[in-house]
Chain A
Protein backbone atom coordinates (compact mmCIF):
# COMPACT_ATOMS: atom_id res chain seq x y z
CA UNK A 1 0.00 0.00 0.00
CA UNK A 2 1.32 3.40 -0.89
CA UNK A 3 2.14 5.67 2.00
CA UNK A 4 1.05 9.26 2.35
CA UNK A 5 4.21 10.73 0.90
CA UNK A 6 4.01 8.47 -2.15
CA UNK A 7 0.38 9.33 -2.69
CA UNK A 8 1.09 13.01 -2.48
CA UNK A 9 4.03 12.75 -4.83
CA UNK A 10 2.18 10.55 -7.30
CA UNK A 11 -0.57 13.12 -7.49
CA UNK A 12 1.82 16.00 -7.76
CA UNK A 13 0.95 18.39 -10.51
CA UNK A 14 -2.46 16.90 -11.17
CA UNK A 15 -3.91 20.29 -10.41
CA UNK A 16 -1.31 22.21 -12.38
CA UNK A 17 -3.04 25.28 -13.70
CA UNK A 18 -3.38 25.89 -17.40
CA UNK A 19 -0.32 27.66 -18.69
CA UNK A 20 0.32 29.75 -21.72
CA UNK A 21 3.06 28.04 -23.65
CA UNK A 22 5.28 29.36 -26.39
CA UNK A 23 4.25 27.85 -29.70
CA UNK A 24 6.45 25.17 -31.28
CA UNK A 25 7.49 27.72 -33.88
CA UNK A 26 8.57 30.11 -31.15
CA UNK A 27 10.60 27.39 -29.45
CA UNK A 28 12.23 26.47 -32.72
CA UNK A 29 12.94 30.14 -33.37
CA UNK A 30 14.61 30.42 -30.00
CA UNK A 31 16.67 27.34 -30.77
CA UNK A 32 17.67 28.80 -34.13
CA UNK A 33 18.78 32.02 -32.47
CA UNK A 34 20.78 30.06 -29.95
CA UNK A 35 22.44 28.19 -32.77
CA UNK A 36 23.28 31.37 -34.63
CA UNK A 37 24.84 33.15 -31.71
CA UNK A 38 26.21 30.13 -30.03
CA UNK A 39 29.73 30.55 -28.91
CA UNK A 40 29.77 27.59 -26.62
CA UNK A 41 30.52 23.94 -27.11
CA UNK A 42 29.49 22.24 -30.32
CA UNK A 43 32.96 21.23 -31.48
CA UNK A 44 33.95 24.72 -32.35
CA UNK A 45 37.19 23.76 -33.97
CA UNK A 46 35.42 21.44 -36.35
CA UNK A 47 32.84 24.02 -37.19
CA UNK A 48 35.42 26.70 -37.70
CA UNK A 49 37.56 24.36 -39.73
CA UNK A 50 34.66 23.58 -41.99
CA UNK A 51 33.90 27.26 -42.17
CA UNK A 52 37.42 27.96 -43.36
CA UNK A 53 37.08 25.27 -45.97
CA UNK A 54 33.61 26.09 -47.08
CA UNK A 55 33.99 29.84 -46.89
CA UNK A 56 31.31 32.33 -46.12
CA UNK A 57 28.50 30.16 -47.43
CA UNK A 58 28.65 27.98 -44.34
CA UNK A 59 26.05 28.62 -41.71
CA UNK A 60 27.04 27.76 -38.17
CA UNK A 61 25.69 24.39 -37.15
CA UNK A 62 23.45 23.94 -40.15
CA UNK A 63 19.78 23.19 -39.89
CA UNK A 64 18.68 20.14 -38.03
CA UNK A 65 17.46 17.58 -40.41
CA UNK A 66 20.11 18.34 -42.94
CA UNK A 67 22.89 15.84 -43.40
CA UNK A 68 25.74 16.28 -40.97
CA UNK A 69 28.51 18.35 -42.49
CA UNK A 70 31.54 16.29 -43.37
CA UNK A 71 34.99 17.59 -42.73
CA UNK A 72 37.12 16.97 -45.77
CA UNK A 73 40.07 19.12 -44.94
CA UNK A 74 41.69 20.85 -42.06
CA UNK A 75 42.42 24.55 -42.05
CA UNK A 76 45.96 25.52 -42.70
CA UNK A 77 46.89 26.93 -39.36
CA UNK A 78 50.39 28.13 -39.85
CA UNK A 79 52.59 28.77 -36.88
CA UNK A 80 51.26 27.45 -33.60
CA UNK A 81 54.00 27.72 -31.02
CA UNK A 82 54.38 24.98 -28.50
CA UNK A 83 53.41 25.89 -24.98
CA UNK A 84 55.35 25.20 -21.89
CA UNK A 85 53.35 23.50 -19.13
CA UNK A 86 53.09 26.78 -17.29
CA UNK A 87 52.75 30.01 -19.20
CA UNK A 88 55.22 32.16 -17.37
CA UNK A 89 55.85 34.80 -19.98
CA UNK A 90 53.31 37.54 -20.02
CA UNK A 91 53.17 39.03 -23.49
CA UNK A 92 54.08 42.65 -23.86
CA UNK A 93 51.01 44.43 -24.95
CA UNK A 94 50.99 47.99 -26.03
CA UNK A 95 48.13 50.23 -27.05
CA UNK A 96 44.91 48.66 -28.31
CA UNK A 97 45.65 46.43 -31.24
CA UNK A 98 44.73 47.65 -34.69
CA UNK A 99 41.96 45.87 -36.51
CA UNK A 100 44.29 43.39 -38.08
CA UNK A 101 42.83 40.38 -39.82
CA UNK A 102 42.41 37.38 -37.61
CA UNK A 103 41.94 34.34 -39.70
CA UNK A 104 42.72 31.30 -37.66
CA UNK A 105 40.73 29.04 -35.41
CA UNK A 106 41.06 28.88 -31.66
CA UNK A 107 43.31 25.89 -31.02
CA UNK A 108 43.04 23.80 -27.90
CA UNK A 109 46.36 25.17 -26.75
CA UNK A 110 44.78 28.60 -26.48
CA UNK A 111 42.73 27.38 -23.53
CA UNK A 112 43.74 27.40 -19.91
CA UNK A 113 44.98 24.07 -18.65
CA UNK A 114 43.78 22.49 -15.47
CA UNK A 115 47.19 22.91 -13.88
CA UNK A 116 46.95 26.65 -14.46
CA UNK A 117 44.32 26.71 -11.72
CA UNK A 118 45.75 24.11 -9.35
CA UNK A 119 47.29 20.65 -9.42
CA UNK A 120 43.98 19.24 -8.25
CA UNK A 121 41.92 20.70 -11.06
CA UNK A 122 40.82 18.65 -14.03
CA UNK A 123 39.22 19.49 -17.33
CA UNK A 124 35.59 18.47 -17.16
CA UNK A 125 34.25 16.64 -20.15
CA UNK A 126 30.92 17.20 -21.78
CA UNK A 127 29.14 20.35 -22.69
CA UNK A 128 28.61 22.91 -19.96
CA UNK A 129 24.91 23.65 -19.94
CA UNK A 130 24.77 25.93 -16.96
CA UNK A 131 23.79 29.54 -17.22
CA UNK A 132 26.18 32.43 -17.30
CA UNK A 133 25.78 36.08 -16.43
CA UNK A 134 24.12 36.80 -19.76
CA UNK A 135 21.01 35.23 -18.35
CA UNK A 136 20.94 38.16 -15.94
CA UNK A 137 21.81 40.86 -18.46
CA UNK A 138 19.21 39.31 -20.76
CA UNK A 139 16.61 39.63 -18.03
CA UNK A 140 17.79 43.17 -17.51
CA UNK A 141 17.05 43.95 -21.16
CA UNK A 142 13.67 42.25 -21.00
CA UNK A 143 12.79 44.44 -18.05
CA UNK A 144 13.75 47.53 -20.02
CA UNK A 145 16.60 48.42 -17.72
CA UNK A 146 19.11 48.29 -20.58
CA UNK A 147 18.59 48.67 -24.31
CA UNK A 148 21.47 46.36 -25.14
CA UNK A 149 23.60 49.16 -26.58
CA UNK A 150 26.27 49.37 -27.71
CA UNK A 151 25.21 46.33 -29.65
CA UNK A 152 27.00 43.04 -29.38
CA UNK A 153 29.04 42.39 -32.54
CA UNK A 154 27.81 39.58 -34.71
CA UNK A 155 29.93 36.52 -35.12
CA UNK A 156 30.66 36.77 -38.78
CA UNK A 157 30.98 33.41 -40.39
CA UNK A 158 34.15 31.78 -41.45
CA UNK A 159 36.62 33.55 -39.26
CA UNK A 160 34.78 33.03 -36.02
CA UNK A 161 35.56 30.27 -33.70
CA UNK A 162 35.01 29.50 -30.09
CA UNK A 163 35.92 27.02 -27.44
CA UNK A 164 34.81 26.47 -23.91
CA UNK A 165 36.47 24.61 -21.10
CA UNK A 166 35.40 23.82 -17.57
CA UNK A 167 38.06 23.33 -14.90
CA UNK A 168 36.94 21.89 -11.61
CA UNK A 169 38.25 20.09 -8.54
CA UNK A 170 35.19 19.27 -6.50
CA UNK A 171 32.86 21.28 -4.34
CA UNK A 172 35.59 22.79 -2.17
CA UNK A 173 37.59 24.38 -4.96
CA UNK A 174 37.02 27.16 -7.40
CA UNK A 175 35.02 26.18 -10.47
CA UNK A 176 36.24 27.86 -13.64
CA UNK A 177 34.40 28.15 -16.93
CA UNK A 178 36.49 29.65 -19.71
CA UNK A 179 35.29 30.71 -23.09
CA UNK A 180 37.62 31.86 -25.84
CA UNK A 181 36.24 33.34 -29.02
CA UNK A 182 38.04 34.66 -32.05
CA UNK A 183 36.41 37.66 -33.69
CA UNK A 184 37.13 38.93 -37.14
CA UNK A 185 38.96 41.97 -35.84
CA UNK A 186 40.22 43.65 -32.70
CA UNK A 187 37.51 46.24 -33.26
CA UNK A 188 34.76 43.60 -33.07
CA UNK A 189 36.27 42.05 -29.97
CA UNK A 190 36.49 45.53 -28.47
CA UNK A 191 32.84 46.13 -29.28
CA UNK A 192 31.99 43.02 -27.36
CA UNK A 193 33.86 44.27 -24.30
CA UNK A 194 32.04 47.61 -24.60
CA UNK A 195 28.71 45.82 -24.88
CA UNK A 196 29.34 43.66 -21.83
CA UNK A 197 30.62 46.59 -19.81
CA UNK A 198 27.49 48.58 -20.59
CA UNK A 199 25.47 45.59 -19.44
CA UNK A 200 27.25 45.48 -16.10
CA UNK A 201 26.77 49.20 -15.62
CA UNK A 202 23.12 49.39 -16.62
CA UNK A 203 22.26 46.19 -14.77
CA UNK A 204 24.36 46.99 -11.71
CA UNK A 205 21.37 46.02 -9.60
CA UNK A 206 18.79 43.67 -11.00
CA UNK A 207 15.76 42.26 -9.27
CA UNK A 208 13.60 39.76 -11.03
CA UNK A 209 11.41 37.34 -9.17
CA UNK A 210 13.75 35.35 -6.90
CA UNK A 211 16.87 36.66 -8.50
CA UNK A 212 18.70 39.61 -7.04
CA UNK A 213 22.01 40.35 -8.69
CA UNK A 214 24.50 43.12 -8.29
CA UNK A 215 27.36 43.60 -10.75
CA UNK A 216 30.36 45.59 -9.63
CA UNK A 217 33.35 46.31 -11.85
CA UNK A 218 36.24 46.07 -9.45
CA UNK A 219 39.27 46.30 -11.77
CA UNK A 220 40.07 47.19 -15.35
CA UNK A 221 43.09 47.04 -17.64
CA UNK A 222 44.97 44.39 -15.72
CA UNK A 223 45.53 41.96 -18.58
CA UNK A 224 45.60 41.82 -22.36
CA UNK A 225 44.50 44.84 -24.38
CA UNK A 226 41.36 45.38 -22.35
CA UNK A 227 40.18 43.67 -19.22
CA UNK A 228 37.33 43.82 -16.75
CA UNK A 229 37.05 42.11 -13.41
CA UNK A 230 33.48 41.99 -12.19
CA UNK A 231 32.04 40.79 -8.92
CA UNK A 232 28.66 39.18 -9.52
CA UNK A 233 28.14 37.78 -6.06
CA UNK A 234 30.25 37.19 -2.97
CA UNK A 235 31.43 33.94 -4.54
CA UNK A 236 31.33 34.67 -8.25
CA UNK A 237 33.90 36.69 -10.18
CA UNK A 238 33.86 37.33 -13.90
CA UNK A 239 36.95 38.15 -15.92
CA UNK A 240 36.63 39.53 -19.44
CA UNK A 241 39.76 40.06 -21.49
CA UNK A 242 40.44 41.11 -25.05
CA UNK A 243 43.71 40.14 -26.68
CA UNK A 244 43.74 41.63 -30.14
CA UNK A 245 40.84 39.99 -31.95
CA UNK A 246 40.42 37.26 -29.37
CA UNK A 247 38.03 37.55 -26.47
CA UNK A 248 38.17 35.36 -23.42
CA UNK A 249 35.85 35.19 -20.50
CA UNK A 250 36.35 33.43 -17.19
CA UNK A 251 33.58 32.73 -14.75
CA UNK A 252 34.96 31.76 -11.36
CA UNK A 253 32.64 30.31 -8.76
CA UNK A 254 34.25 29.93 -5.37
CA UNK A 255 33.21 27.66 -2.50
CA UNK A 256 30.45 28.99 -0.30
CA UNK A 257 32.71 30.16 2.48
CA UNK A 258 33.07 33.78 3.52
CA UNK A 259 35.90 35.55 1.76
CA UNK A 260 36.51 32.68 -0.63
CA UNK A 261 36.39 34.84 -3.74
CA UNK A 262 40.02 35.35 -4.66
CA UNK A 263 40.58 38.45 -6.77
CA UNK A 264 44.32 37.76 -7.05
CA UNK A 265 43.62 34.30 -8.43
CA UNK A 266 41.21 35.77 -10.96
CA UNK A 267 43.82 38.23 -12.18
CA UNK A 268 46.49 35.54 -12.24
CA UNK A 269 44.27 33.33 -14.38
CA UNK A 270 43.63 36.28 -16.68
CA UNK A 271 47.38 36.63 -17.18
CA UNK A 272 47.74 32.92 -17.84
CA UNK A 273 44.81 32.96 -20.25
CA UNK A 274 46.41 35.82 -22.19
CA UNK A 275 49.72 33.98 -22.31
CA UNK A 276 48.02 30.85 -23.63
CA UNK A 277 46.17 32.82 -26.29
CA UNK A 278 49.26 34.70 -27.36
CA UNK A 279 51.30 31.54 -27.63
CA UNK A 280 48.69 29.57 -29.55
CA UNK A 281 47.19 32.15 -31.89
CA UNK A 282 48.22 35.18 -33.91
CA UNK A 283 46.32 37.52 -31.62
CA UNK A 284 49.33 39.20 -30.03
Chain B
Protein backbone atom coordinates (compact mmCIF):
# COMPACT_ATOMS: atom_id res chain seq x y z
CA UNK B 1 0.00 0.00 0.00
CA UNK B 2 1.38 3.40 -0.86
CA UNK B 3 2.20 6.26 1.52
CA UNK B 4 -0.94 8.32 0.78
CA UNK B 5 -3.14 5.46 1.99
CA UNK B 6 -1.19 5.22 5.22
CA UNK B 7 -1.41 8.97 5.57
CA UNK B 8 -5.16 8.84 5.16
CA UNK B 9 -5.40 6.09 7.74
CA UNK B 10 -3.27 8.03 10.21
CA UNK B 11 -5.08 11.32 9.72
CA UNK B 12 -8.50 9.71 9.91
CA UNK B 13 -8.05 7.55 12.98
CA UNK B 14 -5.51 9.26 15.20
CA UNK B 15 -7.98 11.33 17.20
CA UNK B 16 -10.04 8.24 18.03
CA UNK B 17 -6.86 6.51 19.01
CA UNK B 18 -5.87 9.43 21.20
CA UNK B 19 -9.09 9.23 23.18
CA UNK B 20 -8.48 5.57 23.93
CA UNK B 21 -4.83 6.04 24.77
CA UNK B 22 -5.63 8.99 26.97
CA UNK B 23 -8.16 6.93 28.88
CA UNK B 24 -5.51 4.27 29.42
CA UNK B 25 -2.56 6.50 30.26
CA UNK B 26 -4.34 9.39 31.96
CA UNK B 27 -1.94 11.84 30.38
CA UNK B 28 -2.66 13.61 27.11
CA UNK B 29 0.98 14.12 26.23
CA UNK B 30 1.90 10.57 27.06
CA UNK B 31 -1.12 9.32 25.12
CA UNK B 32 -0.07 11.25 22.06
CA UNK B 33 3.48 9.93 22.32
CA UNK B 34 2.17 6.41 22.57
CA UNK B 35 -0.24 6.81 19.67
CA UNK B 36 2.36 8.33 17.38
CA UNK B 37 4.79 5.58 18.27
CA UNK B 38 2.14 2.98 17.48
CA UNK B 39 1.53 4.57 14.06
CA UNK B 40 5.27 4.58 13.39
CA UNK B 41 5.31 0.87 14.15
CA UNK B 42 2.32 0.44 11.88
CA UNK B 43 4.26 2.07 9.05
CA UNK B 44 7.25 -0.08 9.90
CA UNK B 45 5.02 -3.14 9.34
CA UNK B 46 2.61 -1.52 6.94
CA UNK B 47 2.57 -4.25 4.35
CA UNK B 48 1.31 -6.63 7.00
CA UNK B 49 -0.87 -4.19 8.93
CA UNK B 50 -2.57 -2.80 5.84
CA UNK B 51 -3.69 -6.28 4.90
CA UNK B 52 -5.62 -6.73 8.13
CA UNK B 53 -9.37 -6.33 8.17
CA UNK B 54 -9.06 -3.77 10.93
CA UNK B 55 -5.67 -2.03 10.95
CA UNK B 56 -6.99 0.34 13.59
CA UNK B 57 -7.35 -2.55 16.02
CA UNK B 58 -3.70 -3.44 15.43
CA UNK B 59 -2.57 0.12 16.13
CA UNK B 60 -4.76 0.32 19.22
CA UNK B 61 -3.39 -2.96 20.57
CA UNK B 62 0.16 -1.81 20.02
CA UNK B 63 -0.58 1.58 21.58
CA UNK B 64 -2.06 -0.09 24.65
CA UNK B 65 0.95 -2.37 24.99
CA UNK B 66 3.32 0.55 24.76
CA UNK B 67 1.22 2.51 27.23
CA UNK B 68 0.98 -0.31 29.71
CA UNK B 69 4.65 -1.08 29.34
CA UNK B 70 5.61 2.51 30.05
CA UNK B 71 3.11 2.76 32.85
CA UNK B 72 4.33 -0.45 34.44
CA UNK B 73 7.86 0.74 34.18
CA UNK B 74 7.02 4.06 35.72
CA UNK B 75 5.18 2.31 38.52
CA UNK B 76 8.09 0.02 39.14
CA UNK B 77 10.61 2.80 39.48
CA UNK B 78 11.74 4.01 42.83
CA UNK B 79 9.15 6.75 42.87
CA UNK B 80 6.81 8.33 40.43
CA UNK B 81 6.77 12.04 40.31
CA UNK B 82 4.73 14.41 38.30
CA UNK B 83 7.28 16.40 36.40
CA UNK B 84 6.77 18.90 33.68
CA UNK B 85 9.38 18.77 30.99
CA UNK B 86 9.34 20.28 27.54
CA UNK B 87 6.66 22.26 25.84
CA UNK B 88 3.29 20.49 26.01
CA UNK B 89 1.56 20.10 22.66
CA UNK B 90 -1.90 19.92 24.20
CA UNK B 91 -3.79 21.95 26.75
CA UNK B 92 -5.17 20.04 29.74
CA UNK B 93 -8.72 18.66 29.45
CA UNK B 94 -11.59 19.87 31.63
CA UNK B 95 -12.02 18.78 35.22
CA UNK B 96 -14.73 16.19 34.52
CA UNK B 97 -12.49 14.42 32.07
CA UNK B 98 -9.60 14.63 34.48
CA UNK B 99 -11.77 13.09 37.22
CA UNK B 100 -12.86 10.27 34.95
CA UNK B 101 -9.30 9.61 33.88
CA UNK B 102 -8.20 9.54 37.49
CA UNK B 103 -10.94 7.03 38.26
CA UNK B 104 -9.96 4.90 35.27
CA UNK B 105 -6.42 4.77 36.55
CA UNK B 106 -7.75 3.56 39.85
CA UNK B 107 -9.22 0.37 38.47
CA UNK B 108 -7.35 -2.78 37.40
CA UNK B 109 -5.69 -2.69 34.01
CA UNK B 110 -7.80 -5.46 32.47
CA UNK B 111 -11.03 -3.76 33.53
CA UNK B 112 -9.80 -0.42 32.28
CA UNK B 113 -8.90 -1.87 28.90
CA UNK B 114 -12.32 -3.47 28.57
CA UNK B 115 -14.05 -0.24 29.57
CA UNK B 116 -12.03 1.81 27.13
CA UNK B 117 -12.55 -0.60 24.25
CA UNK B 118 -16.28 -0.84 24.87
CA UNK B 119 -17.26 2.68 25.76
CA UNK B 120 -14.63 4.78 24.04
CA UNK B 121 -13.54 2.68 21.08
CA UNK B 122 -17.10 1.45 20.56
CA UNK B 123 -16.21 -2.24 20.36
CA UNK B 124 -18.74 -4.94 21.07
CA UNK B 125 -18.20 -7.54 23.77
CA UNK B 126 -17.43 -10.12 21.09
CA UNK B 127 -14.92 -7.83 19.41
CA UNK B 128 -13.23 -7.07 22.72
CA UNK B 129 -13.03 -10.77 23.47
CA UNK B 130 -11.34 -11.35 20.12
CA UNK B 131 -9.05 -8.35 20.50
CA UNK B 132 -7.90 -9.17 24.00
CA UNK B 133 -7.92 -12.94 23.68
CA UNK B 134 -10.36 -13.74 26.49
CA UNK B 135 -13.83 -15.24 26.65
CA UNK B 136 -16.87 -13.05 26.18
CA UNK B 137 -18.00 -13.86 29.70
CA UNK B 138 -14.70 -12.56 31.00
CA UNK B 139 -15.16 -9.35 29.07
CA UNK B 140 -18.65 -8.91 30.50
CA UNK B 141 -17.35 -9.52 33.99
CA UNK B 142 -14.56 -7.02 33.52
CA UNK B 143 -16.97 -4.43 32.19
CA UNK B 144 -19.37 -4.98 35.03
CA UNK B 145 -16.73 -4.88 37.75
CA UNK B 146 -14.94 -2.02 36.10
CA UNK B 147 -18.08 0.05 35.96
CA UNK B 148 -18.88 -0.71 39.57
CA UNK B 149 -15.38 0.31 40.57
CA UNK B 150 -15.63 3.48 38.52
CA UNK B 151 -18.99 4.28 40.05
CA UNK B 152 -17.53 3.86 43.48
CA UNK B 153 -14.59 6.07 42.64
CA UNK B 154 -16.79 8.71 41.07
CA UNK B 155 -19.55 8.28 43.65
CA UNK B 156 -22.20 7.80 41.01
CA UNK B 157 -24.77 5.12 40.50
CA UNK B 158 -24.39 2.42 37.94
CA UNK B 159 -26.27 -0.41 36.34
CA UNK B 160 -25.44 -3.43 34.23
CA UNK B 161 -26.64 -4.00 30.68
CA UNK B 162 -24.10 -5.81 28.59
CA UNK B 163 -25.37 -7.90 25.74
What is the interface of chain A, defined by CB distance below 8 A to chain B?
Answer: 3-6, 8-10, 12-13, 15-22, 24-25, 27-28, 30-32, 34-35, 38, 42, 61, 64-66, 68, 129-131, 135, 142-143, 207-214, 233-236, 253, 256
Contacts and interface: CB of A to CB of B under 8 A. Distances in A.
Given A129-B66, A209-B30, A15 B80 contact: no
30 contacts: A3-B157, A4-B158, A5-B151, A8-B156, A9-B150, A10-B119, A13-B19, A15-B93, A16-B90, A16-B97, A21-B89, A25-B7, A28-B3, A28-B43, A31-B46, A32-B44, A34-B44, A64-B46, A65-B1, A65-B2, A131-B69, A135-B73, A207-B83, A209-B27, A210-B30, A211-B74, A212-B78, A212-B81, A233-B77, A256-B76
B14 interface: yes
B9 to A, nearest CB: 9
A6 B15 contact: no
Given A21-B32, A24-B10, A16 B18 contact: yes
B23 to A, nearest CB: 6
A20 B154 CA distance: 31
Interface residues of B, number: 68
B19 A16 contact: yes
A34 B39 CA distance: 12
Contact of B41 (A12, A129, A135): A129
A64 B28 contact: no
- Classify the interface of chain B: helix, strand, loop or mixed: helix
B84 to A, nearest CB: 7
A272 B23 CA distance: 42
B150 A209 contact: no
Interface in B54-104: 62, 65-66, 69-70, 73-74, 76-86, 89-94, 96-97, 100
Nearest to B118: A9
A3 B69 contact: no
Contacts of A236: 73, 76
A210 B81 contact: yes
Given A12-B100, A12-B119, A17-B91, A207 B81 contact: yes
Given A13-B19, A19-B28, A24-B11, A65 B79 contact: no
Contact of A234 (B22, B30, B78, B115): B78
A44 B6 CA distance: 25
A20 B151 CA distance: 33
B158 A3 contact: yes
Contacts of B119: 6, 9-10, 12
B42 interface: yes
Q: Which of B36, B44, B45, B97 has the most CB of A within 10 A?
A: B44
Contacts of A34: 40-41, 44
Contacts of A130: 65-66, 69
